[in-house]
Amino acid sequence: MRRRPILIGLVAVAALGGVGAAVASGAVPGGPLFAAGTAPKASPSGAAADVRMASIERRTMSTTDELDGTLGYDDDRTVSAGAAGVLTWLPEPGTVIKRGGRLYELDGSRRPRLFLDEDMSERILDVLAELRIDAVSANRGFKGLWDPDQLLTAIELGRTMATANTGDFLLLHRAWLAWSANWDLRTMPRHHGILLIHSAKGFDYVGIAGVLRAFVDDHEVAEIENRAFAWTHRDGWHERQEPRPTARRR
């Protein structure tokens, strides 16, 4: 009679021992709790892991080298003056000349140097070069500028604006005069002349180059500043007379 309780106790211990073994090995009904080798490990100290956050930044990396050397000049080049005369002005040695800038002056006067807008054929520029007329084109180095920016570029380069876009540039000329008169400036800003060429039937790029040469040969920059001239097949070159702007009262 006394042996029965002992057997029950042994069965109970064995059953509890089996459950403990199942928990320790992760074998529970329904499959393993963690995949092999992925069970989380406790920190040796028992404290939480040290996690640091950092922002991702995008930067440009570059390398530089310091070299010893002496700066010099490229080979000499011959510049065509475009006309005969006495050389009366040259820039100071070391002066940086921008594209289209002035390199010389003949006979103490300055012939108009032209800036052709985008509407003017580049073939005109080639003919002007053969005629020894100093000219640059917006299509060669200044392409994509708006009309006001083309005029400002011509002014910065000290050049006379030549265009077949007669309507828009005549408005710019009028705005230049009217606005300048109301800016309360001691010295009125000056452009170097605007040449408006009206197209005509049978009038090609060779003809346009010819009338531009005629104008350049007959004028100096000083006498055409802040003035606009138009060419038509009927009247030839003539000045566009504009009412003298007056400052408005404020």
pTM of the model: 0.58
Q: How far is the first Cα of the chain from the last one, in angstroms, to the nearest whole number?
A: 127
Coil, strand or helix: which one is 109? strand
CATH number for the region 111-239 comes to 3.40.50
Residue 44 reports pLDDT greater than 90: no
Residue 166 reports pLDDT greater than 80: yes
Place of tokens 């329904």: 30
pLDDT interval class at 7 (50, 70, 90)? very low
Place of tokens 């059953």: 15
| pLDDT digits 0-9 by tens, 119-148 | 898 899 999 989 888 899 998 888 889 999
Characterize 172-211 residue by residue with b for buried, 16 or more Cβ atoms within 10 angstroms of its Cβ, and e for exposed.
Answer: bbeebbeebeeeeeeeeeebbbbbbbeeeeeeebeebbeb
| pLDDT digits 0-9 by tens, 62-79 | 888 888 888 777 777 777
Per the CB < 8 A criterion, the answer to whether 211 and 145 are in contact is: no
* 139-145 long-range Cβ contacts below 8 angstroms, 24+ apart: 141/99, 141/100, 143/118, 145/118
Choice between 163 and 244, residue whose per-residue pLDDT is larger: 163
Ordered by start, the domain boundaries in the chain are 111-239
